[in-house]
Amino acid sequence: MSAKSAHATNIQRVVSPGGIEAWLVEQHNVPMIAVRVGFKRGAAYDPAGKDGLVNLMASTMDEGAGDLDSQAFQRRLEELTMSLSFSAGRDTYTASMKTLTRNRDQAFEMLRLAMTEARFDPEPVERVRQQLIAGLKREQQDPEHMAYRAWFKSAFGSHVYARNRKGSIEGLNAVTPEDLKSFARRLMGRDLLRIAVVGDIDAKTLGALLDKTFAGLPEKSSLGEIADAHVEAKAVTDRIEKDIPQSVIVLGVDGLRREDPDFIPAYVMNYILGGGGFSSRLTEEVREKRGLTYSVYSFLLPMKHAGVFMASASTKTSTVDEAIKIIRAEIARMAEKGVTEKELADAKTYLTGSYPLRFDSNTKIAGELIGIQLEQLGIDYITTRNGVIDAVTPEDIQRVARRILKPENLRITVVGKDQG
């Protein structure tokens, strides 16, 4: 099919009287508004020894603000039948809010309170800290999580990307309510602020609300940049013993950042290799032909200061080596021979044709708009994106495959029973 953009999505750039910018898509069919707010700093900025600080900040920013203590704040959210939550990504810090149109102004006021007057009272901080620690313990039971954690540790060594963005038990225990209060001011500067609003609201109304809601944030963030990092090209296999019937395999090499000119060709290449579900080579070879797994896939993970290409599969103990062998062979085949014209054409029709599926609800559109802003892809990205994909050639794919895929230097982590 032809590369149509999501033409129904008409983005307005709204600049408030006070100079605060937001991207708005008006949709008046459902009486609700979805808001996403993002800052271009995240958990990677946790101070040394306090890893988990930004996660704890996100998890307690809705636990009391202004005159409302934790329970009063939560009750007020429920009375307004709105939702409000904060999330700590590796490189970003985001807020998500949803409100019915009839409670619009009060809902924005709750967002303002949380962002600028969060209390971080000792009681909720301690309670939520224990919840996050319980969450970390639960993750430690999960072999897939164990494999990814171990892989990142091995790949990034002493760089902050080796850490769990959710923190560690020791790190979380070291964070004080004062840390949270001061870090919120340091992180949430208006220079890093991006806003997406989708739903039953017009530009003029939004403009006034932007000033009311966000003017109280500090003008500038005082967090500097962290260092760039690369995954060393080196063949490493780590095996972590765990008595489970199915082993989890995670492997990877250095990849690309989003701003790399090769990112889109690499994205198309990965779709064909292992990103495209039943249309991917990995699913065909490991699952469909041999029945070795339920789930096999690969992906590119672009971060702000590094990039990785990763693949994963889970299979019973006795077929771990066979699965690794096939995945490695497919990575090698892609690096050596690239893709056929037909594979590329099929990838393009999927990737361009499915793009509008990301824009069929207010909540999803808001998520796309904040992502585009945080990645600095430009307000016209929705209309230009498919053209960039259509321009990718087999030669581009071959070039990026050679550049990224290093079958002889895979870093592999396996969690499961010893096969011996």
Partner 1 sequence: MRQNHSAGFLKYLPIFLLQLVMVLMTAMTQNARADEAMKTVDGISTFFLKNGMQVVAIPDHRAPVVTHMVWYRVGAADERPGKSGIAHFLEHLMFKGTKDIKPGDFSKIVARNGGQDNAFTSQDYTGYYQRIARDRLELVMKMEADRMRNLTLTDKDVLPERDVILEERRMRIDNDPSSRLSEQVSAALYVAHPYGKPIIGWENEMAGLTRKDALTFYRKYYAPNNAVLIVAGDVEPAELKTLATKYYGGLKPSEGIAKRVRPSEPVPDAERRVVLRDKDVRLPTMRRSYLTPSYTTAAPGEAEALSVLSELLGEGATSRLYTKLVVERKIASGAGSYFIGEHMDNGVFMFYGMPTGGKDIAEVEKAIDEVIAELLADGVTEKEVEHAKKILISDNIYSRDSQSGMARMFGAALTSGQTVEDVLDWPDRIEKVTAADVTAAARKYLRPENSVTGILLRAEKPAMEPAQ
Q: Which of residues 250-309 bind partner 1 (CB under 8 A)?
A: 276-279, 284, 287-295
Residues 6+ apart with CB under 8 A from 28: 199, 200
The site that binds partner 1 (CB under 8 A) totals a number of residues, namely 71
* Rounded least distance, CB 143 to partner 1, Å: 6
* Rounded least distance, CB 397 to partner 1, Å: 17
Question: Positive or negative, the Cα torsion across 283, 285, 289, 292?
Answer: negative
Q: Which is nearer to partner 1, 275 or 307 (CB)?
A: 275
78 near partner 1, judged by CB under 8 A = yes
CA 20 to chain centre: 25
59 near partner 1, judged by CB under 8 A = no
Helix/strand/coil percentages in the chain, nearest 5: 50, 20, 30
Q: Which is nearer to partner 1, 242 or 258 (CB)?
A: 242
Residues 6+ apart with CB under 8 A from 330: 273, 274, 281, 282, 285
Which one of 21, 66, 100, 403 is in contact with partner 1 (CB under 8 A)?
100
* Rounded least distance, CB 111 to partner 1, Å: 17
Which one of 15, 30, 329, 379 is in contact with partner 1 (CB under 8 A)?
30
Contacts to partner 1 from residues 308-327, by CB under 8 A? 314-316
Check if the beta carbon of residue 166 is closer than 8 Å to that of residue 132.
yes
239 near partner 1, judged by CB under 8 A = no
420 near partner 1, judged by CB under 8 A = no
Contacts to partner 1 from residues 134-163, by CB under 8 A? 134-135, 137-138, 140-143
Q: Which is nearer to partner 1, 231 or 264 (CB)?
A: 264
Q: What is the CA radius of gyration of the chain?
A: 23
362 near partner 1, judged by CB under 8 A = yes
| HEC assignment per residue over 194-227 | EEEEEECCCHHHHHHHHHHHHCCCCCCCCCCCCC
Q: Which amino acid is at 365?
A: I
* Rounded least distance, CB 79 to partner 1, Å: 7
